[in-house]
Amino acid sequence: MKITKICCIGAGYVGGPTMAVIAQKCPQIQVTVVDLNAERIAAWNDENVNNIPIYEPGLDAIVGEARGRNLFFSTDVDKAIAESQIIFISVNTPTKTYGKGKGMAADLKYIELCARQIARVAKDNKIVVEKSTLPVRTAEAIKSILDNTGNGVQFQILSNPEFLAEGTAVQDLLNPDRILIGGDATEEGRKAIQALVDVYANWVPEDKILTTNVWSSELSKLTANAFLAQRISSINAMSELCEKTGADVNEVAKAIGMDSRIGSKFLKASVGFGGSCFQKDILNLVYIAKSYGLNEVADYWEQVIIMNDHQKKRFSNNIVQTLYNTVSDKKIAFLGWAFKKDTNDTRESAAIYVADDLINEHAKIAVYDPKVSNKKILDDLNYLETRTAANNASSISSFTDPYEACQNAHAIAVLTEWDEFITYDWQKIYDSMQKPAFVFDGRNLLNGPNLEAIGFVYQAVGS
């Protein structure tokens, strides 16, 4: 099957970058990204590529090259579905906030709406690809909806989970460790798998393209994220022990990381992991395990989340304790709000929870993040519903200049590992702060001895 037209439903952090790279690497394929959110689509179409709605290093250049050639952004979902041979579903699958599975299961309502829309609109055979992270066996549900409500056309469902990490999305897409494609073992299933393999083979070596059954593919995505998150919780657990024993978690991480069986990546102790995937996927895994009565499996993975919550709480408690047991009316400057560097995404960022704790203690928070807007910061806090929006607005402010954010502060908390923080004029910052001037480095980013030489009281995670 020769693929000439594909579309992607959902122009978010996954759909946007993934389709931009496919379009760049496959100029012979027309790629249309659609979304219900007209504002988001308008931003993707903004004449100035600096204004696209997602910040990822290198993405603006790729969009600039392919947009209008074979990459299109539109709100006309029906038209894109009707015209395409392959339809990627890349919509959000947040944790349920209501009903059965509340706080744990993935909310599949957006996926189901997409399936129903595809079923209604499709007039010829389609390959439907799950891109969003989904509970294992979701493909079966999508298939059932498509087969029972469609117009008698044939649908093949593939699972093709995305492994890109935000901040390095473009590099991850250009040079993936692997591409995973799950599909049916039938003749039609094999043809559909091959069609998608051929798309990726335009730039990915074939030995990096794995094909499996649908369920293995769906579960591999959850498993990969659970393993990565578990490494972070494991090193964070050790960070607390290091603080009590005089060991240094960076040294421990280095020593164990040199064991080739363990490896050195994802061993950086921090204020806790954030992002839209790790917590959601583990909760989802826990829910699935419980639903099969596998309570020990569920408890095992849930501990990764418990440890992560503990790490965030421990960080805010330590700030309060160190500042003589009160932060009431004290200015605490946050360097960073995004869940990691090089992204404007703030979903589940540790900064949100640390700020919430400190505001409970009546602190005044001043945030500087190079890519996150004041509105986003307030929205994130309001979403927790801990207090009124007016109370949040009077407790937190944001600055476009880091030196202003730190001026007169009693303490600085580093919440995101943005490179630029390292090269600031720390003497100037010190001079403008209340004394003693504290730095709580939640990312072990800054040079502690240098800061101490200036006069700061410096505390890192795990040493």
The pair of three-digit structure tokens given for residue 390, joined into one six-digit string:
């007016």
**CB-nearest residue to ligand UDX:** 275
197 marked as binding residue: no
Partner in contact with 380, chosen from ligand ADP, ligand UDX, none, beta carbon below 5 to 8 Å by kind: none
The pair of three-digit structure tokens given for residue 167, joined into one six-digit string:
């901040």
266 marked as binding residue: no
User: By the criterion CB under 6 A, which residues form the site for ligand UDX?
Assistant: 162-166, 225, 228, 232, 266-268, 270, 273-275, 277-278, 339-340
* Residue with smaller CB distance to ligand UDX, 163 or 203: 163
CB of 89 to ligand ADP, least distance (A): 9
Of 8, 114, 277, 406, catalytic: 277
40 marked as binding residue: yes
CB of 339 to ligand UDX, least distance (A): 4
Partner in contact with 267, chosen from ligand UDX, ligand ADP, none, beta carbon below 5 to 8 Å by kind: ligand UDX
User: By the criterion CB under 6 A, which residues form the site for ligand ADP?
Assistant: 9-15, 34-37, 40, 77, 90-92, 110, 113-114, 132, 276
225 marked as binding residue: yes
CB of 49 to ligand UDX, least distance (A): 22
CB of 180 to ligand ADP, least distance (A): 17
Partner in contact with 163, chosen from ligand ADP, ligand UDX, none, beta carbon below 5 to 8 Å by kind: ligand UDX
35 marked as binding residue: yes
* Residue with smaller CB distance to ligand ADP, 12 or 135: 12
* Residue with smaller CB distance to ligand ADP, 280 or 410: 280
23 marked as binding residue: no
Three-state secondary structure string covering the chain: CCCCEEEEECCCCCHHHHHHHHHHHCCCCEEEEECCCHHHHHHHCCCCHHHCCCCCCCHHHHHHHHECCCEEEECCHHHHHHHCCEEEECCCCCECCCCCCCCCCECCHHHHHHHHHHHHHCCCCEEEEECCCCCCCHHHHHHHHHHHHCCCCCEEEEECCCCCCCCCHHHHHHCCCCEEEECCCCHHHHHHHHHHHHHHCCCCCHHHEEEECHHHHHHHHHHHHHHHHHHHHHHHHHHHHHHHHCCCHHHHHHHHHCCCCCCCCCCCCCCCCCCCCHHHHHHHHHHHHHHCCCHHHHHHHHHHHHHHHHHHHHHHHHHHHHCCCCCCCCEEEEECCCCCCCCCCCCCCHHHHHHHHHHHCCCEEEEECCCCCHHHHHHHHHHHCCCCHHHHHHHEEEECCHHHHHCCCCEEEECCCCHHHHHCCHHHHHHHCCCCCEEEECCCCCCHHHHHHHCCEEEECCC
* Residue with smaller CB distance to ligand UDX, 330 or 341: 341
Q: How far is CA 347 from CA 121, 350, 425, in A?
A: 33, 9, 30
116 marked as binding residue: no
* Residue with smaller CB distance to ligand ADP, 242 or 377: 377
* Residue with smaller CB distance to ligand UDX, 161 or 183: 161
Partner in contact with 91, chosen from ligand ADP, ligand UDX, none, beta carbon below 5 to 8 Å by kind: ligand ADP
CA–CA gap between residue 448 and residue 459 (Å, rounded): 8
* Residue with smaller CB distance to ligand ADP, 11 or 226: 11
CB of 169 to ligand UDX, least distance (A): 8
Angle at 227 between CA 225 and CA 231, to 5 degrees: 115
CB of 217 to ligand ADP, least distance (A): 17
277 is catalytic: yes
306 burial level (CB within 10 Å; 0-12, 13-18, 19+): exposed
155 marked as binding residue: no
Partner in contact with 40, chosen from ligand UDX, ligand ADP, none, beta carbon below 5 to 8 Å by kind: ligand ADP
The 10 Å Cβ neighbour count of residue 287 is 20
CB of 377 to ligand ADP, least distance (A): 18
333 marked as binding residue: no
Enumerate the known binding-site residues for NAD(+): 10-15, 35, 40, 91-95, 132-133, 166, 277-280, 347
Active site amino acids = 277
Enumerate the known binding-site residues for substrate: 162-166, 221-225, 261, 268-274, 339-340, 443
Enumerate the known binding-site residues: 10-15, 35, 40, 91-95, 132-133, 162-166, 221-225, 261, 268-274, 277-280, 339-340, 347, 443
